[in-house]
């Protein structure tokens, strides 16, 4: 995994602001309509916090000492929201689809591999922390 590549790509995608979170949730709920009811009726706050968390994760991607406790806490807080391990691959698929959409011509197989790998690590840590709660 190349941390700088992820950072560069995310900072470019993030220039699209809240549109990124809107696209992500639209894609997630289109593929998985049953997930909608896990979330509050108004998604405005959720869109903001998702972007904030992604930015935080990406900024710490080369600093496991800080990243791991942050992601563990995120995993634990999700356990109280009806989220379980089976949801994670679907969220990962929508995240990658979103990054791809906003990256346009900059997207390539190598970048996709980097994101899939990074998301896999984050998801594993979140799921384990939720299990140990
Ligand atoms: C990289 C993975 C993920 C990130 C960065 C992320 C980010 C966040 C953040 C920052 C919150 C706000 C509260 C908190 O800290 O818990 C949140 C809440 C939530 N997330 Fe996630 N999440 C991820 C994975 C998932 C997955 C796999 C699901 C399953 C569908 C999910 C569903 C939810 C739900 C239902 C809430 C609570 C909404 C509410 O009731 O206010 N998240 N997420």
Nearest CA, atom 21, ligand 1: 78
Q: Domains in the chain, start-ordered, CATH in brackets?
A: 3-131 (1.10.490.10)
**In this predicted model, what pLDDT tens digit does every residue of 55-77 receive, in sequence order?**
999 999 999 999 999 999 999 99
- Give residue 105's pLDDT: 96
- Give residue 37's pLDDT: 97
Token readout for 99 is 């990054």
CA of 39 to the centre of ligand 1 (A): 9
First CA to last CA distance, the chain: 29
Ligand 1 neighbour 23 (Cβ under 6 A): no
- Give residue 1's pLDDT: 83
Ligand 1 neighbour 127 (Cβ under 6 A): no
- Give residue 3's pLDDT: 94
Mean pLDDT of successive 10-residue stretches along the chain, which has 133 residues: 95 97 98 97 97 98 96 95 96 98 97 97 97 83
Distance CA 60, CA 122 (A): 12
Token readout for 14 is 């993030």
- Give residue 46's pLDDT: 97
Ligand 1 neighbour 54 (Cβ under 6 A): yes
Q: What are phi and psi of 109, to 5 degrees?
A: -60, -35
- Give residue 67's pLDDT: 97
CA of 75 to the centre of ligand 1 (A): 8
Ligand 1 neighbour 53 (Cβ under 6 A): yes
CA of 78 to the centre of ligand 1 (A): 6
């Amino acid at each position: 995994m190349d941390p700088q590549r992820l950072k560069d790509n995310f900072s470019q995608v993030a220039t699209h602001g809240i549109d990124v979170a809107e696209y992500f949730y639209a894609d997630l709920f289109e593929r998985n309509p049953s997930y909608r009811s896990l979330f509050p009726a108004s998604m405005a706050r959720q869109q903001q916090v998702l972007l904030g968390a992604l930015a935080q994760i990406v900024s710490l991607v080369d600093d496991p000492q800080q990243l791991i406790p942050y992601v563990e806490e995120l995993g634990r807080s999700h356990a109280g929201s009806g989220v379980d391990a089976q949801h994670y691959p679907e969220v990962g698929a929508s995240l990658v689809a979103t990054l791809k959409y906003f990256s346009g011509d900059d997207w390539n197989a190598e970048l996709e591999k980097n994101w899939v790998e990074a998301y896999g690590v984050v998801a594993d840590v979140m799921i384990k922390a939720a299990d140990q709660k």
